[in-house]
Amino acid sequence: MSVSGLPPYDPQNIFARILRGEIPCKRVHEDGHALAFHDIHPQAPTHVLVIPKGAYVSAADFHASASAEEIAGFWRAVGLVAKSLGLEATGYRLLANMGPDSGQEVPHFHVHICGGKPLGRMISSG
């Protein structure tokens, strides 16, 4: 098991394949540290995923193992993307699922940026 209680990084996971350009995405931003693209099943009028370029299986893995430069670059990209999507005035939600109880589906660390309408309660039991 990796640092975050998940299996070791799988280079064939869907986001690794998107990073390598093997699978298309609706890209909204790319820099040296991060790639941002629209979620394929949006849960809000705007739903964008931001992923680091490094091979980190989860939030726990990323924050334990990435360099300070990677962490700063990634989170700066999250802020830039949210701003570029025009979400700052009305607000937005950042969400990162980590491990089984969260329902994390894709084992490459990612942050969801959701906005474009009032988003309601933070956590659903469903």
CA 39, CA 37: separation in Å to the nearest integer?
A: 6
CA 43, CA 63: separation in Å to the nearest integer?
A: 26
Q: Does 28 bind ligand 5GP (CB under 6 A)?
A: no
Q: Does 101 bind ligand 5GP (CB under 6 A)?
A: no
Tokens coding 7? 């299996």
Residues in contact with 116: Cβ distance below 8 Å, sequence separation at least 6, in sequence order: 44, 45, 46, 87, 90
The answer to whether 108 and 13 have CB atoms below 8 angstroms apart is yes
**Closest distance to ligand 5GP from the beta carbon of 118 (Å):** 20
* Residue 110: active-site member: yes
Chain positions 35 to 54 lying near ligand 5GP, rule: CB under 6 A, are 37-41, 49
Q: In the chain, what is the straight-line distance between the N-terminal and C-terminal CA atoms, in Å? A: 28
Q: Does 119 bind ligand 5GP (CB under 6 A)?
A: no
Quick one: 49 or 78, whose CB is closer to ligand 5GP? 49
Q: Does 97 bind ligand 5GP (CB under 6 A)?
A: yes
Catalytic residues, which ones? 110
Residues near ligand 5GP, by CB under 6 A: 14, 23, 25, 37-41, 49, 97, 103-106
